Amino acid sequence: VAGWVERELSTPRCHSQGWLMVTEISDATKEHVQQNRIAHIVIRPGVTQIGSWAFSYCSSLASVTIPDSVMQISHSVFEGCSSLASVTIPDSVTQIGDGAFCGCSSLVSVTIPDSVTQIGDGAFSGCSLSVGDEDALCAKYGHCCCGRW
């Protein structure tokens, strides 16, 4: 895809169009996303878990594509990503941690695959999901993962 670059293990680089291909998730990746105002991230196949706070408070992040190799989205991964409007959660994911998307005020819709068996408290708190979507999530997972009590 034109305008995409891969993040090398030692030196992250980005293109002026704001895309980043992520092969490894680390503190350096988060810092790179924040400093370069990366808007779109594609996580490479082979990554199995997105660790806690990995992209938290990356305010320019608008979309993220998660590969089928990811099984867990840890707590607070995208917390405070206020521009995040699009995320695709693959069928391989079984757990979404506490506060994973907390404060993603631009996130208006999310599709949770049937493979997800656990969603942590407040995982979607502060998002702009419709009341119907919130009610469905609360009913299915037995607690309010949207922060609405």
CB 136 within 8 A of CB 111: no
Burial bucket for residue 50 (CB in 10 Å: 0-12, 13-18, 19+): buried
pLDDT category at 33 given cuts 50, 70, 90 is: confident
Q: Is the pLDDT of residue 50 over 80?
A: yes
Mean pLDDT of 83-97: 92
Instruction: Collapse the DSSP code of 140 into the 3-class scheme (helix H, G, I; strand E, B; otherwise coil) and give the result.
Output: helix
DSSP state of 44: P
- pLDDT beyond 50 at 13: no
Q: 124: closest CA among 63, 64, 73?
A: 73
In Å, how far from its chain's centre is CA 122?
14
Closest CA to 119 of 147, 88, 83: 147
Q: Is the pLDDT of residue 5 over 50?
A: no
